[in-house]
Chains A and B, each alone.
Chain A
Amino acid sequence: MTRRSVRIRQSVGAYALIAPALTLISVFIIYPFLRNFKLALYAIPPFPGLPSKWLGIHQFTTTVTSDVFLNSLQATLLYTAMVVPLGVFAGLVLAVTAHQKLRGMAIYRVIFSTTAVSSVAVAATIFGTLLNPVNGLLPWFGINVNPPFLQNTTWALPAMAIIGIWEFMGLSFLLFSAGLQSLPEEVMEAALVDGASPVRRFFRVTIPMLSPTIFYALAVGTIAAMYTFGQMDVLIGTGSTTYTNTDTLAYLIYQSVTVQPNAGVAACISIALFGITSLITFLQFRFLERRVHYVGE
Chain B
Amino acid sequence: MAEVRFEQVGKQFGTQQVLTGFDLTVDDGEFLVLLGPSGCGKTTALRMVAGLEEPTTGSILIGGKSVEGVAPQHRDVAMVFQSYALYPHLSVAKNIGFPLLSQDGSKDENQKKVREAAELLGLGELLSRKPKELSGGQRQRVALARAIVRSPRVFLMDEPLSNLDATLRTQTRGEIVQLQQRLGTTTIYVTHDQVEAMTMGDRIAVMNNGHLQQIGSPAELYEDPINTFVASFVGNPGMNLLRAQRRSGVIYVGDTATVNVLGADESIVMGVRSEDLQLSNSGVPGVCSALEVLGSEVHVHVDAPGGQTVVIRQAANVARPRLGETLSFIVTTESPLFFDALTLERLRA
A positions within 8 Å CB-CB of B: 184, 186-187, 189-197, 200, 204-205, 208-209, 211, 293-295, 297
Of A194, A196, A205, A208, which one neighbours B146 at CB under 8 angstroms? A194
Contacts of A187 in B (CB 8 A): 85-88
Total chain B interface residues with beta-carbon distance under 8 A: 29
Bound state CA distance, A264 and B58, in angstroms? 79
Bound state CA distance, A193 and B70, in angstroms? 12
Known: A184-B83, A186-B82, A193-B79. A297 touches B99 (CB 8 A): no
A194 touches B52 (CB 8 A): no
Contacts of B150 in A (CB 8 A): 195
Closest to B103 in A: A195
B98 touches A196 (CB 8 A): yes
Closest to B79 in A: A193
Of B52, B81, B88, B102, which one neighbours A195 at CB under 8 angstroms? B102
A196 touches B73 (CB 8 A): yes
B77, CB-defined interface residue at 8 Å: yes
> Can you list 9 residue pairs at the A/B interface with Cβ under 8 Å?
A186-B81, A186-B85, A193-B79, A193-B156, A194-B146, A195-B73, A195-B99, A197-B73, A297-B88
- Describe A's contact surface by its main secondary structure: helix
Number of A-B residue pairs with CB-CB distance less than 8 Å in the complex they form: 77
A190 touches B81 (CB 8 A): yes
Closest to A297 in B: B132
CB under 8 Å from chain A, chain B span 35-59: 50-52
Shortest Cβ gap from A32 to chain B (Å): 42
A293 touches B89 (CB 8 A): yes
Bound state CA distance, A189 and B73, in angstroms? 10
Of A184, A197, A297, which one neighbours B85 at CB under 8 angstroms? A184
Shortest Cβ gap from B54 to chain A (Å): 13
CB under 8 Å from chain A, chain B span 62-92: 71-75, 77-79, 81-83, 85-90
Shortest Cβ gap from B169 to chain A (Å): 19
Q: Contacts A186-B82, A192-B73, A208-B90 given; 20 further ones with Cβ under 8 A? A: A184-B83, A184-B85, A186-B81, A189-B72, A190-B79, A190-B81, A191-B87, A192-B71, A192-B72, A193-B78, A193-B79, A193-B156, A194-B102, A195-B103, A197-B102, A205-B87, A208-B89, A293-B89, A295-B88, A297-B132
Bound state CA distance, A84 and B136, in angstroms? 40
Of A189, A192, A209, which one neighbours B89 at CB under 8 angstroms? A209
B101, CB-defined interface residue at 8 Å: yes
Contacts of A196 in B (CB 8 A): 73, 98, 101-102
Q: Mark B81-119, 1 if CB is under 8 A from A, else 0.
A: 111011111100000001101110000000000000000
Known: A186-B82, A200-B102, A297-B132. A193 touches B73 (CB 8 A): yes
Contacts of B102 in A (CB 8 A): 194-197, 200
Shortest Cβ gap from A227 to chain B (Å): 32
Shortest Cβ gap from B208 to chain A (Å): 25
Bound state CA distance, A192 and B75, in angstroms? 10
B101 touches A190 (CB 8 A): no
Shortest Cβ gap from A289 to chain B (Å): 14
Shortest Cβ gap from B110 to chain A (Å): 13
A189 touches B81 (CB 8 A): yes
A189 touches B52 (CB 8 A): yes
Shortest Cβ gap from B104 to chain A (Å): 12
Contacts of B98 in A (CB 8 A): 191, 194, 196, 204
Q: Mark B115-150, 1 if CB is under 8 A from A, else 0.
A: 000000000000000001000000000000010001
Closest to A293 in B: B89
Shortest Cβ gap from A183 to chain B (Å): 10
Bound state CA distance, A185 and B233, in angstroms? 31
Known: A193-B52, A193-B73. A200 touches B101 (CB 8 A): yes
A211 touches B146 (CB 8 A): no
Most buried by A among B51, B79, B86, B88: B88
Shortest Cβ gap from A215 to chain B (Å): 13
